[in-house]
Amino acid sequence: MGVLIVDDEPLARARLARQLQTINGCQLLGEAADGESALQQLDSLDPDLLLLDIEMPGENGLQLATQITNRPNPPAIIFCTAHDEFALPAFAVAASGYLLKPVNVEQLAQAIAQARRLSKPQRQALHTQVPQHASGRRQIKAVSRRGVQLLDVDDIRCFIAEDKYVIAHHSGGETVLDESLKELEAEFGERFVRVHRNAIVAVDFIAGLQKGGDGYRVTLAGIALTPVVSRRLLAGIKSLLAEMA
Protein backbone atom coordinates (compact mmCIF):
# COMPACT_ATOMS: atom_id res chain seq x y z
CA MET A 1 0.00 0.00 0.00
CA GLY A 2 1.67 3.21 -1.18
CA VAL A 3 1.39 6.06 1.35
CA LEU A 4 1.82 9.83 1.02
CA ILE A 5 2.23 11.85 4.24
CA VAL A 6 0.87 15.41 4.14
CA ASP A 7 1.71 17.56 7.19
CA ASP A 8 3.34 20.96 7.59
CA GLU A 9 5.24 19.82 10.72
CA PRO A 10 8.54 18.02 9.90
CA LEU A 11 8.59 16.20 13.24
CA ALA A 12 5.06 14.89 12.70
CA ARG A 13 6.01 13.64 9.22
CA ALA A 14 9.13 11.96 10.59
CA ARG A 15 7.14 10.24 13.36
CA LEU A 16 4.58 8.84 10.90
CA ALA A 17 7.35 7.75 8.53
CA ARG A 18 9.08 5.80 11.31
CA GLN A 19 5.82 4.15 12.31
CA LEU A 20 5.05 3.15 8.73
CA GLN A 21 8.31 1.22 8.61
CA THR A 22 6.95 -1.15 11.26
CA ILE A 23 3.62 -1.83 9.52
CA ASN A 24 3.63 -4.70 7.04
CA GLY A 25 2.44 -4.02 3.53
CA CYS A 26 3.04 -0.25 3.62
CA GLN A 27 5.49 1.73 1.52
CA LEU A 28 6.19 5.43 2.05
CA LEU A 29 6.07 7.02 -1.38
CA GLY A 30 6.64 10.64 -0.38
CA GLU A 31 5.97 13.58 1.92
CA ALA A 32 4.34 16.96 1.40
CA ALA A 33 4.19 20.05 3.63
CA ASP A 34 1.16 21.71 2.04
CA GLY A 35 -1.81 21.11 -0.21
CA GLU A 36 -0.20 22.31 -3.43
CA SER A 37 2.76 19.97 -3.05
CA ALA A 38 0.42 17.15 -2.09
CA LEU A 39 -1.62 17.53 -5.27
CA GLN A 40 1.53 17.50 -7.38
CA GLN A 41 2.77 14.33 -5.72
CA LEU A 42 -0.66 12.78 -5.94
CA ASP A 43 -0.42 12.96 -9.73
CA SER A 44 3.15 11.68 -9.91
CA LEU A 45 3.11 9.03 -7.17
CA ASP A 46 -0.48 7.75 -7.38
CA PRO A 47 -0.65 6.70 -3.69
CA ASP A 48 -3.22 4.29 -2.26
CA LEU A 49 -3.43 6.19 1.04
CA LEU A 50 -2.92 9.73 2.38
CA LEU A 51 -2.02 10.42 6.00
CA LEU A 52 -3.34 13.97 6.08
CA ASP A 53 -3.10 16.77 8.64
CA ILE A 54 -6.00 19.23 8.81
CA GLU A 55 -4.61 22.57 9.97
CA MET A 56 -1.91 23.60 7.50
CA PRO A 57 -0.88 26.90 5.92
CA GLY A 58 -2.90 27.74 2.83
CA GLU A 59 -5.42 25.10 1.87
CA ASN A 60 -6.32 23.00 4.91
CA GLY A 61 -6.66 19.23 4.96
CA LEU A 62 -10.44 19.23 4.68
CA GLN A 63 -10.35 21.41 1.57
CA LEU A 64 -7.63 19.24 0.08
CA ALA A 65 -9.58 16.07 0.85
CA THR A 66 -12.66 17.48 -0.88
CA GLN A 67 -10.62 18.06 -4.04
CA ILE A 68 -9.06 14.63 -3.88
CA THR A 69 -12.27 12.68 -3.30
CA ASN A 70 -13.88 14.40 -6.28
CA ARG A 71 -11.21 12.91 -8.55
CA PRO A 72 -11.74 9.59 -10.28
CA ASN A 73 -10.39 6.63 -8.32
CA PRO A 74 -9.12 8.64 -5.31
CA PRO A 75 -6.85 7.25 -2.58
CA ALA A 76 -8.10 6.46 0.89
CA ILE A 77 -7.56 9.21 3.49
CA ILE A 78 -6.71 8.97 7.17
CA PHE A 79 -6.68 12.31 8.98
CA CYS A 80 -3.96 12.74 11.60
CA THR A 81 -4.66 15.87 13.60
CA ALA A 82 -4.32 17.43 17.05
CA HIS A 83 -7.95 18.57 17.01
CA ASP A 84 -10.97 16.35 17.70
CA GLU A 85 -13.59 18.88 16.59
CA PHE A 86 -13.09 18.13 12.87
CA ALA A 87 -14.25 14.49 13.01
CA LEU A 88 -17.70 15.05 11.51
CA PRO A 89 -16.50 17.30 8.66
CA ALA A 90 -13.73 14.77 8.00
CA PHE A 91 -16.14 11.89 7.50
CA ALA A 92 -18.34 14.12 5.36
CA VAL A 93 -15.51 13.97 2.80
CA ALA A 94 -15.32 10.17 3.03
CA ALA A 95 -12.33 9.81 5.33
CA SER A 96 -11.28 6.24 6.10
CA GLY A 97 -9.99 7.14 9.56
CA TYR A 98 -9.42 9.96 12.03
CA LEU A 99 -6.50 9.78 14.47
CA LEU A 100 -5.55 12.26 17.16
CA LYS A 101 -1.94 13.32 17.62
CA PRO A 102 0.33 12.07 18.98
CA VAL A 103 -0.56 9.06 16.85
CA ASN A 104 0.71 5.75 18.22
CA VAL A 105 1.69 2.88 15.98
CA GLU A 106 -1.09 0.54 17.15
CA GLN A 107 -3.79 3.07 16.26
CA LEU A 108 -2.11 3.77 12.94
CA ALA A 109 -1.85 0.09 12.07
CA GLN A 110 -5.51 -0.47 12.89
CA ALA A 111 -6.62 2.52 10.82
CA ILE A 112 -4.48 1.40 7.89
CA ALA A 113 -5.89 -2.13 8.11
CA GLN A 114 -9.35 -0.59 7.79
CA ALA A 115 -8.29 1.74 4.97
CA ARG A 116 -6.61 -1.14 3.15
CA ARG A 117 -10.07 -2.55 2.47
CA LEU A 118 -10.82 0.70 0.68
CA SER A 119 -7.66 0.85 -1.43
CA LYS A 120 -8.20 1.57 -5.08
CA PRO A 121 -8.17 -2.01 -6.41
CA GLN A 122 -10.63 -3.04 -3.71
CA ARG A 123 -13.12 -0.21 -4.07
CA GLN A 124 -14.39 -1.52 -7.38
CA ALA A 125 -14.56 -5.05 -5.99
CA LEU A 126 -16.52 -3.82 -3.00
CA HIS A 127 -18.91 -1.98 -5.28
CA THR A 128 -19.58 -5.09 -7.35
CA GLN A 129 -19.94 -7.35 -4.33
CA VAL A 130 -22.59 -5.30 -2.51
CA PRO A 131 -26.09 -5.97 -3.87
CA GLN A 132 -27.70 -2.82 -5.23
CA HIS A 133 -30.86 -3.47 -3.20
CA ALA A 134 -28.95 -3.65 0.10
CA SER A 135 -30.21 -1.09 2.57
CA GLY A 136 -28.30 1.41 4.68
CA ARG A 137 -24.74 2.62 4.88
CA ARG A 138 -21.80 0.56 3.76
CA GLN A 139 -19.80 1.69 6.80
CA ILE A 140 -20.54 2.63 10.38
CA LYS A 141 -18.48 5.17 12.30
CA ALA A 142 -17.36 4.43 15.85
CA VAL A 143 -15.73 7.14 17.98
CA SER A 144 -13.68 6.31 21.08
CA ARG A 145 -10.64 7.51 22.99
CA ARG A 146 -8.52 5.55 20.50
CA GLY A 147 -9.79 7.66 17.63
CA VAL A 148 -12.39 7.11 14.93
CA GLN A 149 -12.95 3.73 13.32
CA LEU A 150 -14.97 2.81 10.24
CA LEU A 151 -16.60 -0.62 10.23
CA ASP A 152 -17.62 -2.30 7.00
CA VAL A 153 -21.25 -3.36 7.46
CA ASP A 154 -20.56 -6.39 5.27
CA ASP A 155 -18.05 -7.60 7.89
CA ILE A 156 -20.40 -7.27 10.88
CA ARG A 157 -21.88 -10.55 12.14
CA CYS A 158 -24.30 -9.11 14.66
CA PHE A 159 -25.29 -6.12 16.79
CA ILE A 160 -25.85 -6.84 20.50
CA ALA A 161 -27.45 -4.31 22.87
CA GLU A 162 -25.76 -4.14 26.27
CA ASP A 163 -26.77 -1.55 28.86
CA LYS A 164 -26.73 1.86 27.15
CA TYR A 165 -24.65 0.78 24.17
CA VAL A 166 -24.73 -1.49 21.14
CA ILE A 167 -21.72 -3.68 20.37
CA ALA A 168 -20.91 -4.62 16.77
CA HIS A 169 -19.23 -8.04 16.52
CA HIS A 170 -17.06 -8.46 13.42
CA SER A 171 -14.04 -10.38 12.13
CA GLY A 172 -11.67 -7.99 13.92
CA GLY A 173 -13.33 -8.29 17.32
CA GLU A 174 -15.99 -6.05 18.80
CA THR A 175 -16.66 -2.31 18.71
CA VAL A 176 -18.95 -0.18 20.87
CA LEU A 177 -21.39 2.01 18.91
CA ASP A 178 -23.34 5.05 20.00
CA GLU A 179 -26.44 3.95 18.08
CA SER A 180 -29.60 2.16 19.15
CA LEU A 181 -30.48 -1.36 18.07
CA LYS A 182 -33.85 -0.10 16.87
CA GLU A 183 -32.21 2.44 14.56
CA LEU A 184 -29.78 -0.14 13.19
CA GLU A 185 -32.58 -2.63 12.54
CA ALA A 186 -34.61 0.03 10.72
CA GLU A 187 -31.64 0.93 8.52
CA PHE A 188 -30.30 -2.56 7.80
CA GLY A 189 -33.54 -4.52 7.89
CA GLU A 190 -32.84 -6.22 4.55
CA ARG A 191 -29.49 -7.58 5.74
CA PHE A 192 -30.00 -8.27 9.45
CA VAL A 193 -32.73 -10.18 11.25
CA ARG A 194 -33.82 -9.87 14.88
CA VAL A 195 -33.29 -12.99 16.97
CA HIS A 196 -33.82 -11.47 20.41
CA ARG A 197 -34.92 -8.16 21.89
CA ASN A 198 -31.22 -7.34 22.37
CA ALA A 199 -29.76 -8.84 19.18
CA ILE A 200 -29.93 -8.64 15.39
CA VAL A 201 -27.71 -10.85 13.22
CA ALA A 202 -26.43 -10.69 9.65
CA VAL A 203 -28.44 -13.05 7.48
CA ASP A 204 -25.46 -13.86 5.24
CA PHE A 205 -23.41 -15.10 8.22
CA ILE A 206 -26.02 -17.33 9.85
CA ALA A 207 -24.53 -20.84 10.00
CA GLY A 208 -27.26 -22.65 11.93
CA LEU A 209 -29.02 -23.18 15.26
CA GLN A 210 -27.78 -25.03 18.30
CA LYS A 211 -29.84 -26.10 21.31
CA GLY A 212 -28.52 -25.82 24.83
CA GLY A 213 -29.69 -25.60 28.40
CA ASP A 214 -30.79 -21.99 27.95
CA GLY A 215 -32.67 -22.64 24.70
CA TYR A 216 -31.66 -22.07 21.11
CA ARG A 217 -28.72 -20.02 19.96
CA VAL A 218 -27.79 -18.93 16.44
CA THR A 219 -24.28 -19.76 15.21
CA LEU A 220 -22.50 -17.21 13.03
CA ALA A 221 -19.65 -17.81 10.61
CA GLY A 222 -16.34 -16.31 11.65
CA ILE A 223 -17.03 -15.58 15.34
CA ALA A 224 -17.49 -17.69 18.48
CA LEU A 225 -20.38 -15.63 19.87
CA THR A 226 -23.76 -17.41 19.65
CA PRO A 227 -26.65 -15.00 20.34
CA VAL A 228 -29.70 -16.37 22.12
CA VAL A 229 -32.85 -16.77 20.03
CA SER A 230 -36.04 -15.82 21.86
CA ARG A 231 -38.95 -18.26 21.88
CA ARG A 232 -41.16 -15.69 20.19
CA LEU A 233 -38.76 -15.34 17.24
CA LEU A 234 -37.58 -18.97 17.00
CA ALA A 235 -40.18 -20.09 14.44
CA GLY A 236 -39.24 -17.25 12.11
CA ILE A 237 -35.52 -18.04 12.35
CA LYS A 238 -36.17 -21.72 11.63
CA SER A 239 -38.24 -20.72 8.61
CA LEU A 240 -35.44 -18.46 7.40
CA LEU A 241 -32.91 -21.26 7.72
CA ALA A 242 -35.18 -23.59 5.77
CA GLU A 243 -35.40 -21.03 2.96
CA MET A 244 -31.60 -20.65 2.95
CA ALA A 245 -30.97 -24.40 2.84
Higher-confidence position of 244 and 17: 17
- Name the residue range of residue 182's domain: 139-244
Question: How do residues 63-72 score in pLDDT, each as one tens digit?
Answer: 898 888 877 7
Assess whether 104 and 156 both reside in one domain. Answer: no
Does any domain span residue 133? no
Region of 208 (left: φ > 0; alpha: ψ -120 to 50; beta: rest) is left
Listed residues 126, 159, 183: the one ending a domain: 126
Residue 88 lies in a domain: yes
Are 75 and 110 in a shared domain?
Answer: yes
97 shares a domain with 17: yes
Check whether residue 76 and residue 153 sit in a common domain. Answer: no
| pLDDT, tens digit, 9 for 90 and up, residues 71-128 | 777 888 999 988 777 776 666 666 778 888 889 999 899 888 877 765 454 444 433 3
Q: Are residues 29 and 114 in the same domain?
A: yes
Query: Is pLDDT of 167 > 50?
Result: yes
Q: Would you say residue 47 lies in a domain? A: yes
CATH number for the domain including 38? 3.40.50.2300
Residue 60 domain-assigned (yes or no): yes
Domain boundary among 126, 149, 171: 126
Mind spelling out the 3-state secondary structure of the chain?
CEEEEECCCHHHHHHHHHHHCCCCCCEEEEEECCHHHHHHHHHHHCCCEEEECCCCCCCCHHHHHHHHHCCCCCCEEEEEECCHHHHHHHHHCCCCEEEECCCCHHHHHHHHHHHHCCCHHHHHHHHHHCCCCCCCCCEEEEEECCEEEEEEHHHEEEEEEECCEEEEEECCEEEEECCCHHHHHHHCCCCEEEEECCEEEEHHHEEEEEEECCEEEEEECCCCCCCECCHHHHHHHHHHHHHHC
Judgement on whether residues 144 and 208 belong to the same structural domain of the protein: yes
131 is a domain residue: no
Q: Is the pTM of this model over 0.75?
A: no
Band (135; pLDDT cuts 50, 70, 90): low
- The answer to whether residue 225 sits within a structural domain is yes
* Residue 177 CB coordination number (10 Å): 21
Instruction: State how beta strands 173-177 and 156-162 pair.
Output: unpaired
Q: Which of 93, 126, 159 is the last residue of a domain?
A: 126
- Number of structural domains (the chain) is 2
Could you give the CA distance from residue 224 to residue 167 in angstroms, rounded to a whole number?
A: 15
pLDDT over 80 at 35, yes or no: yes
Q: Tell me the CATH number at 146.
A: 2.40.50.1020
Instruction: Judge if 93 and 153 occupy the same domain.
Output: no
In this structure, the answer to whether residues 118 and 149 fall within a common structural domain is no
The verdict on residue 132 lying in a domain is no
Same-domain check for residues 112 and 158: no
Average pLDDT score over the chain: 85
When pLDDT is averaged across residues 196-207 and rounded to a whole number, the result is: 94
Q: How many CB atoms lie within 10 A of CB 100?
A: 18
Decide if pLDDT at 131 tops 60.
no
